[in-house]
Structure 1
Amino acid sequence: MIPMYSRSYLNLMREIAVTRFKLKDQSTFFGLLWSFLNPVLMLTILFTIFSFRAGQGIDHYAIYLLIGVVQYTHFSNTTAGGMSILCSMEKLTSDVIFPKEVLVIGTVIADTVEFVISLIFCLGIAIAFGIQLSWPVLLLPVVILMQLMFVLWVSMFLSIFYIYVRDLRHIYQVFLRMLFFATPIFYRPEYVGDGIGKYIIQMNPLTHLIQFARTLLIEGRWPSWEMLLLTFAANTALLFLGIAIFRRYEPTFAEYL
C-alpha cells in the first residue's frame, strides 16, 4: 500500500483529479460554462418560486439563495458521483493494484474545483449587487476546505456501501430530495420554528457550512469561532475514519465488482 502523502500517492491523486476535471464536461457544448449556468438556472427557478414568500425579510435574497444552491449542488452531485466511481471504473479497480481511495479523492477534488469556480462567480455577483466585501471573506477558503472534507468522507462511506448494495443509488437520490428541503437553501433556519424540524436543520452539516459562507459574504462578519472549530474538528475526524474504514474493506472490493 502506498503511504498517504508520499510523492507517488499525491501524484496519482493529482493525475486522477486532473483527468476527471478535463473529462467532466468535455462532450457538452458549453463545457466549463456549466459551472456558471447550472447555479444560475437553479437560482432563477427558485427565486421566481420563493422570493415572494420565503425571501421576505432576507437581505440580498438572490445572493442568499445562490450560495445555498451552489453549496448544496456541490454536495449532491459530488457525493453521488463519488459513490459510484469504483463501480463505474470496475476494470481499473479490479485489475490494477493501487490505493483505491485515490479514485474517490480525485473525483471529489475535480468537482470541488468546479465548486470553487462557482463560488468565485458568487463573489462577482455579490459585488455587482452592491455587497461590500470585508475582511471576514478571507475566511472563505476555510469554509471551502471544510466542505471538501465533508463531501469527501461522505463519498468514502457511500462508495463502500454501494459496492455491496447497488440499490443504494436509488435510496440516495430520494435522500437528496429530502435533504434539499431539510437544508435552509431558500429560507432562514429560524422560519422552521421549534420541534423536530429545528432539530433536523441543526444536525444537518450543510446548514452550518452554508450559513458560514453567508455570514462571510453577505453579512460581512466573523462566524462563531466555537462552531467553526467544532465543524472543522468533526469533519477532520470523520474523514480519517472514512479513509481507515475504506482501507479496511478495500481487499474485498474486487470480488463484489
Structure 2
Amino acid sequence: RAEVAGLDVAREPRRVRSRIGLTGQYAAVDEGLTGRQNLEMFGRLFHLGNRPARQRAGELLDRFGLTGAADKAAKEYSGGMRRRLDLASSMILQPDVLFLDEPTTGLDPRGRGEVWEAVRALVADGTTVLLTTQYLEEADRLASHITVIDRGRAIADDTPDALKNRVGGDRIEVVSADPGDLDAVAKTVGRVAGGGLVVTDTPARRVHAQVADRVAALTEVARALQDDGIAVEDIGLRRPSLDDVFLRLTGHGTENHDAPEVAAA
C-alpha cells in the first residue's frame, strides 16, 4: 500500500498523477529546440494552452537561471543547464511531490552544484522532493531524511545525522609532525577521550579517538600539546561520513555492482 500527497496510488491514480512530477536519470529535452520552446511544448502537452504555456515557460526559465540562454538550442547547453531545463519541464504543473532519479549522473562538479541549487530552491518553495542517488555527498547535502536500500530492502531510515551517529559520534584527529611524538599524542588524546579507545595509525602519524564534547575536546587537546611542546601537522574534529554508514550497515562499499541506493527526501 502506498500514498503520495495523501492519496492512495491504487484507488486514485489520476489524482496522484496530477500532483506529482518526474525527472528521470537522463535529461529528456529536445536538443533541437530552444530552452523556451522545450518548456512551451511541455506546457501544451499538459493542456495549458498557448498563452499560459508561454507564461509558465518564462517563469520557469527565470526560476532556474536559464533566461539568458532561453533562445539557444538545448544542444548548446552544458550538462548542468540541460539538467536544470529538464527539472523545469517537470515543474510545469507545480507538483506537490517531485521524483528525481539520480539527477546528477554524469555531471561535472559545477553542473552538479547547479542542480543542487535548483533542488534546494524547489524545496524552499514547498515542493517535496524524493531523490534516489548513489552519490553519498549528494544525499548528505540535500536530504533531511534518508532511506538506505540494499538489494531491494530498506535497511535504515533516519536523518543524516542520526545515521552517522549509528557508527559513532565526533572524533578528534591529530597528525603529529614527528613520528617520535605519537605515544605522547596518544596519551594526551586518550586523557581527553576519557579512557575510550584511542587508535594510532603509525604510517600516517595519526591518532584519533571518539569524544563527547567536540569543542571542549579540541580546545583541551590543542592546549595540552602546545604546553608539552609537541608540534602537530594537523588537528581537527571529524564526523562519520555516509560512506562509513554504508560500510557499517551493508558490509560493502558503494563501488560494488550491487551498491546500495539512497532514497532521500
Relative to the length of structure 2, the TM-score reads 0.23
- Which structure carries more strand by proportion? 2
Relative to the length of structure 1, the TM-score reads 0.24
Structure of higher RCO (CA pairs closer than 8 Å, 6+ residues apart)? 1
Greater gyration radius: 2
